[in-house]
Amino acid sequence: MEWNGKRVLVTGAGGFIGSHLAERLVELGSDVQAFVRYNSAGRRGWLDSSAVKNEMRVVAGDIADADSVLAAVQGTDIVFHLAALIGIPYSYQALSSYVSTNVQGTMNVLKAARHAGVERMVHTSSSEVYGTARYVPIDEDHPLQAQSPYSATKVAADKMAEAFHLSFGLPVVTIRPFNTYGARQSARAVIPTVIIQCMNGGAVKLGNLSPTRDLVHVSDTVAGFVSAGSAPDVAGSVINLGTNTEISIGDLAEKIAALMGTPLAVEQQAERVRRDGSEVERLLASNALAKEKLDWSPQHGLDEGLPPTIEWFRTHMDSYHPDVYAV
């Protein structure tokens, strides 16, 4: 498909993955509308510092407000829905907010996309919906298990997308990224947490060290989204984006510290440990379906993806607070 001139909406465009995706779509020549959360300061998240911020239209609103979503979707060819509340620890404290944003917000986008007759909607899921792996690699037929309020709302949102496809024929495809990392990621994620604490000196405070994760560089995740927006015959599909490799949190911390040339002393902090029954012990993706349907495979392993990520954080430490646990 030719992206040049395509009218594209990205919700959550001020966030980590959303800002990278919006920029990539601008590079491809799309007519990009970026939906960001309204705030009285007029800030647009990471788009405020984007080199191409003037080449997209930024619309502020609230994904949980049906009217603002409907207005944003009108006249759009393709919708990429990334707006979500994603912090797992905070979901224990603010469940209603997660339901409002992740479930109600997704329904608002689905309804607006149906009303507008869009060519394609790409809905964002999460590997957290699988819970701890019952078998590996995890394919898209793996059972879903909500081990946190956050993952429960993502399961509900995924099923809402499935229902809109089966009930109303909405051409929606669900992309399920495994743990994405890279420039601009929140300090609530493990890689930024380790990097900024290593830069700050002293012990690196973490939660459980034994769980494993399948880590995908943000440029690869963005490539998967772009493919999902254009690939034929994917409506109704759920597709993993993962590397088919895993690393434990403890080994990851050691790898990052070694790349940074920093001695590593890890201190387990109780508030960073997930609640009993909530920890997802193992995530390891099968990406066979992504290769088949999207012609997608990851181009960056940790050895390629971590060095530029570390360098980006070196030059953006003023955006982070290494002494504060980011929930």
Give tens-digit pLDDT for 263-291. 999 999 999 998 889 999 999 999 999 99
User: Would the pLDDT of 137 be above 90?
Assistant: yes
- Size of the chain, expressed as the number of residues it contains: 327
Residues near 237 by beta carbon (within 8 Å), at least 6 away in sequence: 140, 173, 174, 289, 293
Tokens for 30, please give them.
């799309």
pLDDT at residue 323 in the model: 85
Q: For residue 183, give both structure tokens.
A: 């420039």
Is pLDDT at 322 greater than 90 in this prediction? no
Helix, strand, or coil here: 87?
Answer: coil
What mean pLDDT comes out for the span 193-205? 95
Residue found by looking up tokens 């434990």 in the block: 248
pLDDT at 1 over 90: no
**pLDDT of 78 higher than 90:** yes
Domain-by-domain residue ranges, the chain?
7-185+216-246+278-300
What is the pLDDT, as a whole number, of residue 63? 98
Asked whether the beta carbons of 103 and 160 are under 8 A apart, the reply is yes
Are 214 and 220 in contact by the 8 Å Cβ rule? The answer is no
Q: Indicate the pLDDT class of residue 233, thresholds 50, 70 and 90.
A: very high
Q: What is the mean pLDDT of residues 129-136?
A: 98
Active-site residues: which are they?
150
Residue 251 has pLDDT above 90, yes or no: yes
Is the pLDDT reported for residue 327 higher than 90? no
Q: In the beta sheet, which residues pair with residue 86?
A: none
Q: Is the pLDDT of residue 35 over 90?
A: yes
Among the residue ranges 127-136, 198-207, 318-327, the one predicted with the least confidence is 318-327
Distance CA 166, CA 319 (A): 43
> CB neighbours (10 Å) of residue 297?
15
User: How far is the C-alpha of 322 from the C-alpha of 54, rounded, in Å?
Assistant: 32
- Domain boundaries 7-185+216-246+278-300, CATH class: alpha beta
Helix axes 190-200, 249-260, angle to 10 degrees: 40
- CA 216 distance to own-chain centroid: 10
User: How large a percentage of the chain has pLDDT more than 70?
Assistant: 100
Distance CA(7)–CA(38), nearest Å, equals 22
Residue where the block lists tokens 């980011």:
326
CA distance 199 to 192: 11
Verdict on whether the full-model pTM lies above 0.75: yes
Query: Hey, what's the torsion of the CAs at 170, 142, 217, 212, to 10 degrees?
Result: 150
Mean pLDDT of 238-266: 97
Mean pLDDT of the 238-253 span:
98
Omega cis (within 30) before 177: no
Measure CA 171 to chain center.
21
User: What average pLDDT score do residues 65-70 get?
Assistant: 98
d(CA 158, CA 125): 6
The predicted pLDDT at position 129 comes to 98
pLDDT of residue 257: 97
